Amino acid sequence: MESHEARLNITWSGQNGDLVDPIAYDAPDKDILQWATEAIRTGGVPGITADLNANLTDFVVDRFAATADVPMNRIVLRPKTPFGL
Amino acid sequence: MGVTEVGVVLDLNERPILWHLPEDRTLTSLPDSPDLWQFIWDNRDRISGIAHSHPWYGDATPSHEDVTTFAAIERALGKRLRWWVVTFDRIMTVNWFGPGDLDYGCIAYGSNPEWVAEIREKSKWNLTKQD
């Protein structure tokens, strides 16, 4: 994996998996969410059963730069968690 | 810290397993929290629901922000939860009724689980006055 790339981790419907191909670490959130949605719908995420109804509305993108312990950039998709007005 | 919203994650027996007290909570909000999500995910098999306070007297209806968070978390978990909104004098349980993604219904809850007094205490109900 190149230094400008990242592993994309996705959580959907009680399952979690990584997209096989790396993506650009600085890709826009909107693009990442669209790629992830398409990947889930087509069964492109190992560990996540294909789901034509995948809907990542209100999911957020967390980015974690490579460290000595985890030597690759990671991008993690998860649901938002705020409460309030 | 004054009066604030407070969250609590409830286990399958509807007992607290995590008090959610982020430093940046306010009177009207609990901010987005990767740590809260990680806890929910790690404990997804033993969670029945999540409660949060609306630290005032009266209406306990969830906000649009609340409902969209309920829906996103449930889609990620692949299961439905029971959501609770607690004010200083009311308790509401909120569940998805469908068919739409954001079609949640509210039911007034008649009794007081033990943790309700604690969520009110942590929300600093004692700093408020009811006219």
Instruction: Write down the ipTM of this complex.
Output: 0.94
- Distance between CA atoms of B85 and B54, rounded to whole angstroms? 7
- Determine if the pTM surpasses 0.90: yes
Stretches where chain B sits below pLDDT 50 are none
Which tokens hold the place of B112?
A: 């007081």
CB distance B69–A57 less than 8 Å?
Answer: no
Sorted by where each begins, the domain ranges of chain B are: 7-57+65-113
B122, B16 contact by CB (below 8 A)? no
pLDDT of B8 reads: 98
Nearest to B16 by CA among B25, B24, B8, B5: B8
What is the secondary structure of B26-74 as a DSSP string?
Answer: -SSEE---HHHHHHHHHTGGGEEEEEEE--SSS--PPPHHHHHHHHHHH
- Taking CA atoms, B66 is separated from A16, A32, B3, B71, in Å, by 24, 24, 19, 9
CB distance B75–A60 less than 8 Å?
Answer: no
Contacts of residue A83 in chain B, CB cutoff 8 Å? Answer: 5, 7, 29-30, 52, 63, 65-66, 69
pLDDT of B23 reads: 95
pLDDT of A2 reads: 86
Residues 66 through 125 of chain B touching chain A, CB cutoff 8 Å? 66, 68-69, 71-73, 75-79, 101
pLDDT band at A18 (very low <50, low <70, confident <90, very high): very high
Each residue of A29-66: pLDDT tens digit? 999 999 999 999 999 999 999 999 999 999 999 999 99
Nearest to A33 by CA among A66, A55, A15, A3: A55
Mean predicted confidence (pLDDT) in A11-19: 98
